[in-house]
Amino acid sequence: MTQDIVILAAGKGSRMKSTFSKVLHKVGGIAMVRRVLMTASTLPEAKLHLVVGHQGEQVEANCQDFSANIVWQHDPQGTGDALRRVAPFLQADGATLTLYGDVPLIRASTLEKMTALSTPNTLVLLTISLDNPTGYGRIVRDAQGKVTAIVEQKDASPSQLAITEVNTGILLAPNNHLQTWLAALTNNNAQGEYYLTDVIAMAARDGVDIVTVNPENAAEVAGVNDRVQLAALERELQHQQAIHLMQNGATLLDPSRIDVRGELTTGHDVVIDVNCVFEGKVVLGNGVEIGPNCHLKDCIIGDNTVIKSHTLIDDSQVGESCDIGPFARLRPGTQLSNNAKIGNFVETKKARIGEGSKVNHLSYIGDTDMGANVNVGAGTITCNYDGVNKHLTQVADNVFIGSNTSLVAPVQIAEGATIAAGSTITKQVGEKQLAFARARQTNKDNWPRPVKK
The catalytic residues are 361
Edge-to-edge strands, sheet with 400-401: 250-252, 270-272, 289-290, 306-307, 323-324, 341-344, 358-361, 375-376, 400-401, 418-419, 434-435
Q: For the chain, give the longest Cα–Cα distance.
A: 107
* 438 annotated ligand-binding residue: yes
H helical segments located in 95-190: 108-116, 158-161, 175-184
* 109 annotated ligand-binding residue: no
* 405 annotated ligand-binding residue: no
* 338 annotated ligand-binding residue: no
* 403 annotated ligand-binding residue: yes
* 40 annotated ligand-binding residue: no
Could you give the CA distance from residue 120 to residue 127 in angstroms, rounded to a whole number? 21
Could you give the CA distance from residue 305 to residue 346 in angstroms, rounded to a whole number? 17
* Phi, psi angle pair for 11, to nearest 5°: -70, 155
Peptide bond into 326 cis (omega under 30): yes
* 9 annotated ligand-binding residue: yes
* Phi, psi angle pair for 124, to nearest 5°: -105, 130
* 232 annotated ligand-binding residue: no
- Write the DSSP assignment of 351-415 as a string of letters: EEE-TT-EEEES-EEEEEEE-SS-EE-TT-EEE-B-SS-B--EEE-TT-EE-TT-EEESSEEE-T
* 102 annotated ligand-binding residue: yes
* 373 annotated ligand-binding residue: no
* 225 annotated ligand-binding residue: yes
* 219 annotated ligand-binding residue: no
Give the single-character DSSP code of 112. Answer: H
* 203 annotated ligand-binding residue: no
* 331 annotated ligand-binding residue: yes
* 198 annotated ligand-binding residue: no
* 398 annotated ligand-binding residue: no
Could you give the CA distance from residue 425 to residue 409 in angstroms, rounded to a whole number? 9
Give the single-character DSSP code of 221. Answer: G
Cα angle at 331 between 325 and 336, to 5 degrees? 65
Annotated binding site for Mg(2+): 102, 225
Annotated binding site for acetyl-CoA: 378, 384-385, 403, 421, 438
Annotated binding site: 8-11, 22, 73, 78-79, 100-102, 137, 152, 167, 225, 331, 349, 364, 375, 378, 384-385, 403, 421, 438
Annotated binding site for UDP-N-acetyl-alpha-D-glucosamine: 8-11, 22, 73, 78-79, 100-102, 137, 152, 167, 225, 331, 349, 364, 375
